[in-house]
């Protein structure tokens, strides 16, 4: 029997994502000037106010107010009528030094013996239903908002858009777990109050979403996914009606509140730990990236059509407690999931320091992860410039989304005889 599955995404202007981006920009700046920085910082954003808090151990000092303001302006909160803008909002910092009780469990005489920065379990997931091995509903939800943000910045075809927006896609699957059609698409976007009536505004926004935004999304899709779009899709555009008040003025934002948007849209599993604001010694972040890397390479190698990987740690302990694999009955090798897990443990060194080295996680690479998902993104190299309070500048070539590389496919095939 067919079934429905739904995932959502939120834009870079959503208040929780504003908070995530500020926190990750702080991480990047600390790492740019001291790659051994230990950072765990949280951000709260609300009407006209930003609050920074957390623990840091670093040899550098940052102008955290300027960093926060730069991020807010870059997102697009630059007008006073938004009741939250980068030039005039207050920025309060309560960041202090990391607890020595925590630090002693992480730092070691040799880097390789670095302990896990916290306890917990982390999950990675991959499926072959899309070219980037991500669940289709989330992939489309991200793409819709990415294009909406592009339209907002172009300010040409659609001129009334404001930064805050959300999307949601519902997919109908066959009983063989194959996407069959798109049933519903939800787009809620903040907008100017352009009148003349609320009904006229809503009609204009809905028309533009269907006739301008969706065709731009379709242009980026392969033929098999384009075929899922049809005239029977139900579009819910700003279903509550008027959406002028938004962003941190409309809803307080906090770091780490969009962990399902950040990962797999509800597919697979989640250990509960957020990513943004944390340096890679925190396995909530680094091990989640590592398990995604494993799952993606296994699916790409043909081990299974769908794979979930779990790893677990104890704080201060070097080796993980265990590795778990679930292929959901889609395995293409003559081995049980437990046997697959044993091979995974031999192929991938899951000690925290080994993960950091393998995925190059001490780079200032995290601001780019903080909106539109941490997984399923394009591995690429960019040049980033950082300026410290004393005027010192650093220009760094940074490789982004290293956990999306398919660099272990040949090793996996050899290990499984594929």
Tens digits of per-residue pLDDT, 362-408? 999 999 999 999 999 999 999 999 999 988 899 999 999 999 999 99
Q: Are residue 238 and residue 289 in the same domain, yes or no?
A: no
* Residues contributing to the annotated binding site for ATP: 14, 164-166, 242-243, 251, 257-258, 274, 278
Residues 6+ apart with CB under 8 A from 216: 147, 150, 151
Q: Are residue 163 and residue 124 in the same domain, yes or no?
A: no
Q: Are residue 192 and residue 314 in the same domain, yes or no?
A: no
- Using omega within 30 degrees of 0 as the cis cutoff, is the peptide bond preceding 196 cis? yes
Q: Are residue 202 and residue 290 in the same domain, yes or no?
A: no
Domain assignment present for residue 43? The answer is no
How confident is the chain (418 residues) per 10-residue block, as mean pLDDT?
A: 95 98 98 96 98 95 96 97 96 83 54 75 97 98 98 97 98 94 98 95 97 98 95 96 95 98 97 96 96 98 98 91 96 97 97 96 98 98 95 95 98 97
- Tell me the two tokens of residue 418: 């594929």
Domain assignment present for residue 391? The answer is yes
Please state the separation of Cα 47 from the chain's center in Å: 25
Number of domains in the chain: 2
Of 269, 277, 347, 343, the residue nearest 312 (C-alpha): 269
Residues 6+ apart with CB under 8 A from 265: 7, 8, 9, 135, 137, 138, 141
Q: Are residue 403 and residue 303 in the same domain, yes or no?
A: yes
Domain assignment present for residue 199? The answer is yes
Q: Are residue 202 and residue 239 in the same domain, yes or no?
A: yes
Quote the domain boundaries for residue 298.
120-128+280-416
The DSSP symbol for 342 reads H
Per-residue model confidence as pLDDT tens digits over 4-32: 999 999 999 999 999 999 999 999 999 99
* Residues contributing to the annotated binding site for K(+): 42
pTM assigned to the model: 0.95
* Residues contributing to the annotated binding site for Mg(2+): 16
* CB distance 127 to 133 below 8 Å: yes
* Residues contributing to the annotated binding site: 14, 16, 42, 55, 98, 164-166, 242-243, 251, 257-258, 274, 278, 282
* Residues contributing to the annotated binding site for L-methionine: 55, 98, 251, 282
């Amino acid at each position: 029997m067919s079934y429905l599955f739904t995932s959502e995404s939120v834009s870079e202007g959503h208040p929780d994502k504003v908070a995530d981006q500020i926190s990750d920009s702080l991480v990047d700046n600390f790492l740019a000037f001291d790659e051994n920085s230990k950072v765990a910082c949280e951000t709260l954003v609300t009407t006209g106010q930003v609050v920074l808090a957390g623990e840091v151990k670093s040899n550098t000092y940052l102008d955290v107010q300027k960093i926060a303001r730069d991020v807010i302006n870059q997102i697009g909160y630059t007008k006073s009528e938004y009741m939250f803008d980068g030039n005039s909002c207050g920025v309060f910092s309560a960041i202090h030094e990391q607890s020595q009780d925590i630090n002693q469990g992480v730092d070691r005489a040799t880097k390789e013996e670095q302990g896990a920065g916290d306890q917990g379990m982390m999950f990675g997931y991959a499926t072959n239903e899309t070219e980037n091995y991500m669940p289709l509903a989330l992939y489309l939800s991200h793409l819709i908002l990415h294009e909406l943000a592009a339209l907002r910045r172009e300010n040409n075809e659609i001129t009334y858009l404001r930064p805050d927006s959300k999307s949601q896609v519902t997919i109908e699957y066959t009983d063989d777990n194959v996407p069959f059609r798109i049933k519903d698409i939800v787009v809620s976007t903040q907008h100017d109050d352009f009148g003349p009536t609320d009904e006229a505004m809503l009609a204009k926004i809905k028309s533009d979403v269907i006739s301008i935004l969706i065709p731009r999304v379709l242009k980026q899709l392969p033929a098999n996914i384009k075929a899922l779009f049809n005239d029977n899709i139900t579009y819910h555009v700003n279903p509550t009606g008027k959406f002028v008040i938004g962003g941190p003025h409309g809803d307080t934002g906090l770091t780490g509140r969009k962990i399902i948007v950040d990962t797999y849209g509800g597919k697979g599993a989640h250990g509960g730990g957020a990513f943004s604001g944390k340096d890679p010694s925190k396995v909530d972040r680094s091990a989640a990236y590592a398990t995604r890397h494993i799952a993606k390479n296994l699916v790409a190698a043909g081990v299974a059509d769908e794979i979930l990987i779990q790893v677990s740690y104890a704080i201060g302990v070097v080796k993980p407690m265990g590795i778990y694999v679930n292929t959901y009955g889609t395995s293409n090798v003559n081995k049980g999931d437990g046997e697959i897990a044993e091979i995974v443990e031999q192929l991938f060194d899951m000690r925290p320091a080994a993960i950091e080295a393998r995925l190059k996680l001490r780079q200032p690479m995290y601001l780019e992860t903080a909106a539109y998902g941490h997984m399923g993104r394009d591995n690429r190299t960019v040049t980033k410039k950082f300026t410290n309070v004393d005027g010192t500048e650093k220009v760094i070539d940074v490789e982004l989304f290293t956990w999306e590389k398919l660099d272990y496919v040949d090793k996996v095939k050899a290990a499984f005889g594929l």
